[in-house]
């Protein structure tokens, strides 16, 4: 068997075209969806991510404002910028790129963002809304994974989903979203005993650890859906995920590639969240 590919680039194109249409509708009401992106310091990966986010906004008819500060920018000054953006009616979404320099308390900064503008979905109010099923912004990466499952018409009810990784940004919200669709969810992590015994039972596996070859072909039930959230480099410096793609694709029913899988979907869901924040602000 060779798995079918879930193409994150193609799905992103479709969803971003829908964002562009809805942005045009808002424009007619005099509202341009606006995203503020704050980057502190010169982390090279963050610079690439931020550039991609800003470009994606432009391509979909959203306005973005990029604020760059050097690594010595103080926590108080950053909190003051967040406060100003919270009160700016032209800004509907605020994203503070992580990681922040060590002298800044990232959680404090995230909690300073108005939940109505928390398009990353990292605020405790957003996490609480997801947990309780109330309206709020969902973190972009797991939300993108759910859209990928939706795109193949996958019915999660009663399925066993195994999430590998328990971060606040991916693993934990992913588990809640799968549970919200009536899957039976197992969350695995570094202290899990016999990971393979669990993944072999899974109908859906989401790998979100940040380590190569966490999931290999011998760990996958034939026909399972495999979602790879990892972003790693192999020995040749090539981008790769957490999943041994070449091996697992011979067993799985569906698989997401890296690159071209979850990565573009994360940015797409940021655009969707920003658009929704703008729509909710409309009179």
For residues 84 and 51, the answer to whether their CB atoms sit within 8 Å is no
Grouping H, G, I as helix, E, B as strand and the rest as coil, residue 247 is: helix
Q: How far apart are CA 263 and CA 9, in angstroms?
A: 9
Among candidates 227, 191, 188, 192, which has minimal Cα distance to 207? 227
For residue 186, how far is the Cα from the chain centroid? 20
Closest to ligand GUN by CB, 96 vs 177, is 96
Closest to ligand GUN by CB, 97 vs 126, is 97
Q: In the bound complex, what is the minimum distance in angstroms from residue 96's beta carbon to ligand GUN?
A: 6
Check binding of 262 to ligand GUN (CB under 6 A).
no
Question: One symbol per residue from 141 to 180: x for binding ligand GUN (CB under 6 A), - otherwise; what is it?
Answer: ----------------------------------------
Q: In the bound complex, what is the minimum distance in angstroms from residue 31's beta carbon to ligand GUN?
A: 24
- Among 7, 88, 117, 120, which one carries the catalytic annotation? 120
Q: Which two tokens stand for residue 196?
A: 């393979």
Check binding of 140 to ligand GUN (CB under 6 A).
yes
Number of chain residues interacting with ligand GUN (CB under 6 A)? 8
Residue 167 CB contacts under 8 Å (≥ 6 apart), including other chains: 208
Closest to ligand GUN by CB, 57 vs 224, is 57
Check binding of 96 to ligand GUN (CB under 6 A).
yes
Pick from 3, 6, 15, 95: which binds ligand GUN (CB under 6 A)?
Answer: 95
Give the count of beta carbons closer than 10 Å to the beta carbon of residue 160.
19
Question: One symbol per residue from 48 to 67: x for binding ligand GUN (CB under 6 A), - otherwise; what is it?
Answer: -x------------------
Q: What is the DSSP letter of 211?
A: S
Q: How far apart are CA 152 and CA 129, in angstroms?
A: 27
Strand 160-164 versus strand 254-255 pairing type: unpaired
| Shortest-Cβ-distance residue relative to ligand GUN | 98
Q: What is the CA angle 18-20-25, rounded to 5?
A: 95
Check binding of 97 to ligand GUN (CB under 6 A).
yes
Contact stretch for ligand GUN (CB under 6 A) within 15-23, 89-97, 160-168, 179-187: 89-97
Among candidates 169, 167, 153, which has minimal Cα distance to 97? 169
Q: Which residues bind ligand GUN (CB under 6 A)?
A: 49, 95-98, 120, 140, 266
Task: Report the catalytic residues.
Answer: 53, 97, 120
């Amino acid at each position: 068997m060779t798995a079918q590919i879930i193409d994150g680039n193609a799905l992103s194109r479709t969803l971003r075209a829908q964002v562009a249409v809805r942005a045009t509708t808002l424009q007619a009401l005099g509202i341009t969806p606006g995203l503020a992106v704050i980057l502190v310091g010169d982390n090279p990966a963050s610079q690439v991510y931020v550039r991609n986010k800003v470009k994606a906004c432009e391509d979909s008819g959203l306005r973005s404002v990029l604020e760059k500060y050097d690594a010595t920018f103080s926590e108080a000054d950053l909190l003051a910028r967040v406060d100003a953006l919270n009160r700016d009616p032209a800004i509907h979404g605020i994203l503070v790129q992580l990681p922040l320099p060590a002298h800044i308390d990232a959680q404090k900064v995230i909690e300073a963002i108005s939940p109505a503008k928390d398009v990353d979905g990292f605020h405790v109010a957003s996490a609480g809304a997801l947990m309780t099923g109330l309206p709020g912004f969902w973190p972009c990466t797991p939300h993108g994974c759910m859209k990928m499952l939706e795109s193949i018409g996958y019915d999660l009810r009663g399925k066993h989903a195994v999430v590998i990784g328990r971060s606040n940004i991916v693993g934990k919200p992913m588990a809640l979203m799968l549970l919200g669709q009536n899957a039976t969810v197992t969350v695995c992590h570094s202290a899990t005993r016999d990971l393979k015994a669990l993944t072999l039972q899974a109908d859906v596996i989401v790998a979100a650890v940040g380590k190569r070859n966490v999931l290999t072909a011998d760990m996958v039930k034939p026909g399972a859906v495999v979602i790879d959230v990892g972003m790693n480099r192999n020995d040749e410096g090539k981008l790769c995920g957490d999943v041994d793609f070449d091996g697992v694709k011979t067993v799985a029913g569906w698989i997401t590639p890296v690159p071209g899988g979850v990565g573009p979907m994360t940015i797409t869901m940021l655009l969707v969240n920003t658009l929704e924040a703008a729509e909710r602000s409309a009179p």
